[in-house]
Amino acid sequence: MSKIARRDFINGTLVAAGASMFPFKSSSQAVIAALEPSYYPPALTGLRGSHPGSNEHAHNRAWTRQTDWGSTTDLKEEYDLVVVGGGISGLSAAYFYQQQHGRDKKVLILDNHDDFGGHAKRNEHTINGFTRISYGGSQSLVQPNHAHEIVRKLLEDIGVNLDRFKTAYDTDFFKRHNLGAVTYFNKKVFGEDKVVQHPYCNYPNYVEGLQGAKLSSEEAAQQAPLSDSGKEQLLRVLNGGLHKLKVPKEELLNYTRTHLYFDYLKDTLGVNDPGVLRMARHSGLDWGSTGTELMSIAAARSCGALGFAPVAVYDEDNPYIHHFPDGNAGVARALVKWLIPGVARGNSAEELVLAKFNYAGLDKSSNTARIRLNSTVVKVEHIDEPRNSSDVSINYINDNKSYQVHAKGVVMACYNMIIPHIVSGLPEEQSAALKLQDKSPLQYTTVGLRNWRAMKALGIGVAMSPGNMHQTVLMDFPVSMGGYEYTKTSDDPCVIQMISCPYGKFGEPRREQFREARYRMLGLQFNDYEQEIRSHLSGMFPRGLFDFDRDVASISVNRWAHGYSDGGPGDSTRIGRQPFGRITIANCDSAASSDAKTAMMMGHRAVNELG
């Protein structure tokens, strides 16, 4: 029996002794009672991300059209603004609103999760008495030096110093420990467990400082556990490129945009080996949100899929170093601190890295900004005709009970496709457009290791794993700041990341694949994931150096059934995000983008539209 710490949730059931399912003090006014002082979701392990208990009400609303939530308690709370969704976009909307209208304006943020931040999720693992911090979703600020002035000002106001990452991120870490990009082939799919010192693709290149491949293409092809013909084909792909296409130069660009990467592999390079095709399919991981079989040659080339020369992922002014130890949760926490100054100690985002947030202080009636967690909004409605209404009612479910609050305006910063199921009276065209928006599933699993000797012995900074659920395993980013020290030696505890971009049936349209993969993901239990992680790590690491039960201290499986925004067809994203009376629409989805900077900009736009 495993000794893995998932002490808090097992498939959605809070099992800590003496704890109730919901961490509110028992009271007839449960929802306005404070959270327990011990309430601290970042330290929970097990199934995280969109954790069990967070999405059932929204799914009931969308899937079964549920409208009867029992009797509703009107809390007689009136706000200037209610924000639905406490991710970076919703938190930013609250910030912009108070910036523009005054910090005395009353704002309530409602979120269905047990933590704030949405995709920007902090994971803490306690290993051998040490707290290791990691990220369960939104990872880094991408190219922040290209950010709009509005975003830069927000970051400055909440105490994010972008220059600080130049020294906080230890660029030499991978060199010092000789860690690079490798590929793990598993026995089940490739016939033997084998690690080859080559990534066969560009994906790991986004990790700043990571060492390059240690083998030539010839050696890498030779060492891959494939048949002789498979090895030959792999080498042909590695030596391939656009020069292999018999297309006139002036037509090449158009050709690569209109022809499939997999047709190029099969027809131009003569690949039919299932192992090579599998490596190719998984070589873009989440960069296109689907397997590369749906990509054009141009798209596969731009993400450096199998056989394309490495390309720079980010420009020189924007190295991929803008990463708090908890990823963009560091930004979310800084926003929350700005909104509710008493919630934690610290004068800058850096000083908040180790701060223990007082969740019991998030929803105090004395705050001008309040955050109410575990609260799924199921109905938002203008009390009068939308154009003239100055009163919007917001119904939400908390601990299976229905509550109502009122606001002068509402920003919907939640997943956009749920909005037509929640907002009453939306124009037909807008409602239809919102229903067309989509998101791809994604999973970030964080694993607390008591030591990382096995990673070091194999020189693994990033291990592409085309045969596994988690297509890559990587060291966490080497960032030390605010008193937090990244792991120094391989004898120390650390957190490794395992990333899974689940695909659907090969060749199916992307949305079909998203749907299939999403259902499959939500259908799995923690034990299924633990089993998969056990077999992945045990197959990859040398037996003498790694013992799963001995070396793995804790696992957090952050499942994002609705992960990257994928937008909708044609003009539907723009049509969908139009203001509707006193209700406006934010979230990354409203720009069909998956970027924290855009999430902020969408919060800004939505607040401006409210006037």
Ligand X SMILES: Cc1cc2nc3c(=O)[nH]c(=O)nc-3n(C[C@H](O)[C@H](O)[C@H](O)COP(=O)(O)OP(=O)(O)OC[C@H]3O[C@@H](n4cnc5c(N)ncnc54)[C@H](O)[C@@H]3O)c2cc1C
* Choice between 88 and 455, CB closer to ligand X: 88
Distance between CA 175 and CA 167 in Å, rounded? 16
Q: Residue from 377, 394, 462, 475 that binds ligand X (CB under 6 A)?
A: 377
Q: Residue from 22, 48, 79, 89 that binds ligand X (CB under 6 A)?
A: 89
Q: Residue from 31, 47, 84, 213 that binds ligand X (CB under 6 A)?
A: 84
Q: Residue from 88, 154, 235, 474 that binds ligand X (CB under 6 A)?
A: 88
Contact by Cβ (8 Å): 478, 486: yes
- Token pair, residue 122, equals 């902090």
Q: Residue from 407, 418, 473, 501 that binds ligand X (CB under 6 A)?
A: 418
Residue 417 is a binding residue for ligand X (CB under 6 A): no
Minimum CB–partner distance for residue 110 and ligand X (Å): 5
Minimum CB–partner distance for residue 396 and ligand X (Å): 7
Contact by Cβ (8 Å): 516, 5: no
- Please work out, in degrees rounded to the nearest 5, the angle formed at the alpha carbon of residue 405 by the alpha carbons of 401 and 409: 140
Q: Residue from 46, 52, 90, 204 that binds ligand X (CB under 6 A)?
A: 90
How close are the terminal C-alpha atoms of the chain, in Å?
Answer: 58
- Up-side HSE of residue 541: CA atoms within 13 Å toward CB? 24
Residue 504 is a binding residue for ligand X (CB under 6 A): no
Give the position of tokens 């704002």: 107
Point out which residues pair with 24 in neighbouring strands.
35
Contact by Cβ (8 Å): 448, 132: yes
* Choice between 86 and 361, CB closer to ligand X: 86
Contact by Cβ (8 Å): 344, 352: yes
Options 1-9, 296-304, 470-478, 591-599: segment touching ligand X (CB under 6 A)? 591-599
Minimum CB–partner distance for residue 474 and ligand X (Å): 13
Residue 113 is a binding residue for ligand X (CB under 6 A): yes
Residue 287 is a binding residue for ligand X (CB under 6 A): no
Contact by Cβ (8 Å): 440, 563: yes
- Name residues whose C-beta falls within 8 Å of residue 318's C-beta, 6 or more positions apart in sequence: 142, 143, 144, 145, 146
Cα separation values, 446 from 165, 193, 529, Å = 22, 22, 12
Residue 442 is a binding residue for ligand X (CB under 6 A): yes
- Token pair, residue 576, equals 């969908």
Residue 444 is a binding residue for ligand X (CB under 6 A): yes
Q: Residue from 140, 197, 465, 471 that binds ligand X (CB under 6 A)?
A: 140
Residue 556 is a binding residue for ligand X (CB under 6 A): no
Q: Residue from 77, 293, 532, 595 that binds ligand X (CB under 6 A)?
A: 595
Radius of gyration, alpha carbons of the chain: 24
Residues 561-590 that bind ligand X (CB under 6 A): 563-564, 587-588
- Token pair, residue 496, equals 């490794």
SS3 269: coil
**Main-chain dihedrals φ then ψ at residue 260, nearest 5 degrees:** -80, 140
Q: Residue from 110, 181, 369, 371 that binds ligand X (CB under 6 A)?
A: 110
Residue 594 is a binding residue for ligand X (CB under 6 A): yes
Options 2-10, 135-143, 227-235, 423-431: segment touching ligand X (CB under 6 A)? 135-143
Options 33-41, 113-121, 200-208, 298-306: segment touching ligand X (CB under 6 A)? 113-121
Residue 205 is a binding residue for ligand X (CB under 6 A): no
Minimum CB–partner distance for residue 595 and ligand X (Å): 4
> Which amino acid belongs to residue 77?
E
Contact by Cβ (8 Å): 559, 49: yes
* Choice between 64 and 366, CB closer to ligand X: 64
Residue 58 is a binding residue for ligand X (CB under 6 A): yes
Residues 13-42 that bind ligand X (CB under 6 A): none
- Token pair, residue 500, equals 């899974």
* Nearest C-alpha neighbor of 281 from the set 268, 266, 244: 266
Residue 325 is a binding residue for ligand X (CB under 6 A): no
* Choice between 225 and 504, CB closer to ligand X: 504
Distance between CA 407 and CA 380 in Å, rounded? 10
Q: How many chain residues touch ligand X (CB under 6 A)? A: 39
* Choice between 304 and 539, CB closer to ligand X: 304
Q: By CB neighbour count within 10 A (0-12 exposed, 13-18 middle, 19+ buried), where does 64 fall?
A: exposed
Query: Would you tell me which residues interact with ligand X (CB under 6 A)?
Result: 58, 84-90, 110-113, 118-120, 137-140, 142, 328, 376-377, 413-415, 418, 422, 442, 444, 560, 563-564, 587-588, 594-596, 599
